[in-house]
Structure 1
Amino acid sequence: MADLQQRRSLAEFLRARRERLTPREAGILPGPRRRTPGLRREEVAQLSGVSVTWYTWLEQARDITVSRQVLRSLARALMLSPAERRHLFALAGVPLPERAPGRGPGPALQRLVDALEPHPAYLLDANWDLVGWNRAEAGLIGDPGELEPAERNLLWMVFTDPAIRALLVDWEGQARDLVGQFRADARQRPGDARYEELTGGLRELSAEFRTWWEAHDIAELGTTRREFSHPGVGRLTFDYVKLAALDAPGIKLFACMPADSATREKLPALGEWAARTADGSPAAPAEAGAPRASREADAAGPGTGWTGP
């Protein structure tokens, strides 16, 4: 199993949790001559479906094999909280199955994203569906709220919106990198209908995605610098800070930090651009030398582009 010190920590944890749990809480009628605080070892063994000898060895920090199934049984018998259950698995040196993605980010995370103004920021779920964004991000990519929910996905936007090719610097390199990052981050989850719908649809619609997906390349979801040309603000360069939300499994926060002073000075303009496009006002002309998306690309979708994670 684990090393001696870790086995001792596991033994101490089990003993402490056993002594904390009363017989009545565990559904056991206490006898009149009971002196042991909490549960007895044989009671925990019985509730967990293991032998008394094996459980005794576990509390004695013996070097024995512990399966995931037995750890689940011990966690139920000792009525461990989710945090205690994760601690039990960690002490036993057994990988804990990944928690299922949560239902959404919650209002507190959205307020955090809003508070990051004027820096663009957004939230992605386990399948890279966009589930939250602030006004600066809307100024950067267009308002995702105008898209159909199934199209509000980072990979989908990158591979199906023609405007991305005009806006992203080195679209091919960045898009291929995103495919490797998604494969490493999302992983295939049997029975996940959204995952299958997304990857299956992209394989049908995009030859590039199909080719790169079948290559099975893996890329780190680490620090990323992205460059693109905004139709109204011009050239922008961002470093992306990525944070996982512990209280919302599967949700990640991406904050765009300006990589140079020129980008930093343009941040307020993103919010202004979002406001103008939202109320239908005429868009301001692009900076001199900044490429604009074609009319065909503008007609293909409401977004102005995407920098990606």
Structure 2
Amino acid sequence: MRNQDVKNFLTTHRARVDPQRYGFSTLNRRVKGLRREEVAQLAAVSVSWYTWLEQGRDISISLAALQRIGRVLQLSVTEQEYLEALIFGNAHPQLLSQALPAEVMAMVDALEPHPAFVRRANMDIVYWNQAARSLIVDWSLLPAEDRNTLKLMFLNDDYRQRIHGWEQAARHTLSAFRASYVASNQAQAFESVITDLLARSSDFRTMWNYQDVSKMGTGNKTIIDVEGRAQTYTYTSLLIEQTPGMHVIFYLPDGTGTR
């Protein structure tokens, strides 16, 4: 699957680059963006070598050459890290821990009245507090195999209607999932989510091909509550050091606390 990921990522991002940025004409082009030979020229590599790279073939490649290609394709820092992890593997892969320490559950409960939950790297939800249950989603009502943030975003129509700016939120969630996928050495846990969503959601099938990559970190999300009121939250993702691959996701209502 990784070879196909390399191919899809490079071809998608090559198509996004405006040829005029590098002084190339846009006339008589069969496809959008840069041609393969133009990327090769700008990155100082041979056309055949770049073609093999884009095809996902097993070839020798240096970090310097890959970084030159990244600059030509105007990749962000996160996108470049993603490409390097696809090619070279991750030097510090995230494991998917199974056990959740009691003290972590106690901390999540103590964050009341603010929503908080624990999520694995593949976005499976393993624990949540009462505020998350009442204000975000009641995970206990969902089938165990669907207790996953990405599946919630694409498969739960009720939740989808409650997310202001759903498409942007869905693309961001998916791009963070993709970044976590390449950073983990537990590919099966991610690929089972991907396979399920490819089969069940046409929107996911479309967005999966966008090849967006980002990190979750912090951000904002506006959710419509059960009474139809919009509440904007600032969310923060915190890595749990003693449980690799797990994060606490904490939602703070906008305007709460000091700045």
TM-score by shorter chain over 0.5:
yes
User: What per-residue deviation string (whole Å, max 9, x for no partner) do you get for residues 174-221 of structure 1?
Assistant: 111111111112327576333111101111211111111122111232
2:211: which partner in 1? 216
Distance verdict in 2 for CA 1:161–1:216, change over 3 Å: same
SS at match of 1:180: helix
For the pair 1:148 / 2:114, whether they are aligned, the reply is no
SS at match of 1:255: strand
- Of residues 133, 138, 152 in structure 1, which corresponds to 2:133? 138
For the pair 1:108 / 2:82, whether they are aligned, the reply is no
Aligned CA-pair RMSD: 2.0
Number of residues of Structure 1 aligned to a counterpart in Structure 2:
168
Separation in 1, partners of 2:131, 2:228? 12
For the pair 1:193 / 2:183, whether they are aligned, the reply is no
Unmatched tracts of structure 1, length 5 or more: 1-94, 265-309
Asked if 1 retains the 8 angstrom alpha-carbon contact of 2:93 and 2:183, the reply is: no
Separation in 2, partners of 1:258, 1:166? 19
Separation in 1, partners of 2:227, 2:185? 43
What is the CA distance between 1:260 and its match in structure 2? 2.1
Q: Percent identity?
A: 29
Asked if 2 retains the 8 angstrom alpha-carbon contact of 1:237 and 1:260, the reply is: no
User: What per-residue deviation string (whole Å, max 9, x for no partner) do you get for residues 205-249 of structure 1?
Assistant: 111111111221112323201112112372111101211011000
TM-score under structure 1 normalisation? 0.51
Pair member with larger Rg: 1
User: What per-residue deviation string (whole Å, max 9, x for no partner) do you get for residues 75-109 of structure 1?
Assistant: xxxxxxxxxxxxxxxxxxxx844252211322110
What is the CA distance between 1:157 and its match in structure 2? 0.8
- Of residues 112, 120, 139 in structure 1, which corresponds to 2:115? 120
- Of residues 240, 245, 248 in structure 2, which corresponds to 1:245? 240
Separation in 2, partners of 1:244, 1:117? 19
SS at match of 2:152: helix
Separation in 2, partners of 1:108, 1:247? 11
Unmatched tracts of structure 2, length 5 or more: 1-89
Q: Give the counterpart letter for 1:113 in structure 2.
A: V
Asked if 1 retains the 8 angstrom alpha-carbon contact of 2:117 and 2:250, the reply is: yes
Q: Give the counterpart letter for 2:115 in structure 1.
A: P
TM-score under structure 2 normalisation? 0.60
Separation in 2, partners of 1:184, 1:191? 13
Q: Give the counterpart letter for 2:250 in structure 1.
A: A
1:89: which partner in 2? none
Q: How does 1:1-309 map to 2 (within 5 A)?
A: 96-187=91-182, 192-232=187-227, 234-260=229-255
Separation in 2, partners of 1:191, 1:170? 31
Distance verdict in 2 for CA 1:188–1:216, change over 3 Å: farther
What is the CA distance between 1:141 and its match in structure 2? 2.7
